[in-house]
């Protein structure tokens, strides 16, 4: 199936649709999900050190390569550093450990997972990893406070992506305006609002689903594609994975996109302040 690509501010092309493996257990469950995704044509896998399944992601990719399903150049691998790994020198070590866990040669996109800790020191090491060819693109996740501008001012290589909650109820219009001058693009977690029925059952999605012969979820994912977001809905169910990916054979009209735009600002599903995040997550560190 032909899918769309997004050109990042560093010139690299990222598959706009991928598979996320957040909260997918390491081992056979992650390996099978990633292998199934690659077999059906999905070429972007989003993981993180905090997910504790990077080794399983790498094993699935290497299996698919060994069977001739993909080449390494076909697959885009994203992973993320945890704040306990931030700091000049410290982050360099963490990147090498990540490369060892993944065992896929290089990291296509490396993100700072959270917006606290020594993120500027970490960014310096990430830039060096790009120069060394260990990492191809770098970006950030969950930077929505003034820390975003603080990092942008310090960065020589501007973040290629910003991964945040984004869906029709929370379209991140203001945040997109803040990053527009840097060429940074939005990657969406919770692209389906965490599967919330209130979002998915919006009448506009039901109406459009009936018109195009698609599910409400497929309409939402198609909206993401057309508005320029990068998405990677999580599922381990092969049929759901196939359905999520089946969104490249139709297009929503400008008028239909405008109707969906009217839903903006209705709700976000993750409401935790920066102080609460620091308190809850600051002392936690993923295993090597």
Please check the confidence at residue 134 and state whether its pLDDT lies above 70.
yes
> What is the pLDDT at residue 12?
98
Active site residue 86: no
Spot the catalytic one: 35, 51, 86, 169. 51
> What is the pLDDT at residue 194?
85
- Is pTM beyond 0.75? Reply is yes
Nearest in space to 106 (alpha carbons), one of 64, 140, 61, 70: 61
Could you report the per-residue pLDDT of 36-45, keeping only the tens digit for each? 999 999 999 9
> What is the pLDDT at residue 209?
98
* Interacting residues of 121 by C-beta distance below 8 A, sequence separation 6+: 86, 87, 88, 89, 90, 91
> What is the pLDDT at residue 1?
59
The domain locations on the chain are 5-281
Percent of the chain at pLDDT exceeding 70 = 99
Q: Please identify, in words, the CATH class of the domain defined by 5-281.
A: alpha beta
Q: Which residues are annotated as a binding site for substrate?
A: 113
pLDDT (mean) for 72-92 = 97
Beta strand ranges found along the chain (DSSP E): 5-7, 13-15, 19-20, 44-46, 76-81, 107-112, 135-141, 161-165, 185-189, 230-231
Q: What whole-number distance in Å separates Cα of residue 151 and Cα of residue 219?
A: 35
Q: Are strands 161-165 and 107-112 parallel, antiparallel or unpaired?
A: unpaired
Q: Which residues are annotated as a binding site?
A: 113
């Amino acid at each position: 199936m032909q899918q769309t690509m997004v050109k990042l501010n560093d010139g690299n092309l990222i598959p706009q649709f991928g598979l996320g493996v957040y909260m997918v257990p390491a081992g056979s469950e992650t390996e099978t999900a990633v292998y199934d995704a690659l077999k059906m044509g999905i070429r972007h896998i989003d993981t993180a050190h905090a997910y504790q399944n990077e080794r399983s992601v790498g094993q699935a990719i290497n299996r698919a390569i060994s069977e001739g399903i993909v080449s390494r150049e076909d697959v885009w691998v994203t992973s993320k550093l945890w704040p306990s790994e931030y700091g000049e020198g410290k982050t360099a070590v963490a990147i090498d450990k990540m490369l060892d866990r993944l065992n896929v040669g290089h990291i296509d996109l490396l993100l700072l997972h959270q917006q606290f800790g020594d993120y500027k020191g970490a960014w310096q090491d990430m830039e060096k990893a790009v120069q060394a060819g260990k990492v191809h693109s770098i970006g950030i996740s969950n930077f929505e406070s003034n820390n975003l501008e603080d990092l942008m001012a310090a960065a020589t290589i501007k973040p290629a992506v910003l991964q945040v909650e984004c869906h029709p109820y929370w379209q991140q219009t203001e945040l997109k305006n803040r990053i527009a001058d840097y060429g940074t693009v939005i990657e969406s977690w919770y692209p389906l609002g965490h599967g919330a029925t209130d979002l998915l059952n919006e009448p506009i999605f039901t109406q459009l689903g009936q018109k195009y012969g698609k599910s409400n979820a497929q309409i939402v994912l198609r909206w993401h594609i057309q508005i320029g977001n990068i998405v990677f809905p999580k599922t381990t169910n092969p049929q759901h994975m196939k359905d999520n990916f089946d969104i490249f054979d139709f297009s929503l009209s400008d008028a239909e996109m405008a109707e969906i735009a009217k839903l903006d600002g209705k709700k976000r599903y993750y409401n935790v302040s920066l102080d609460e995040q620091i308190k809850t997550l600051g002392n936690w560190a993923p295993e090597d």
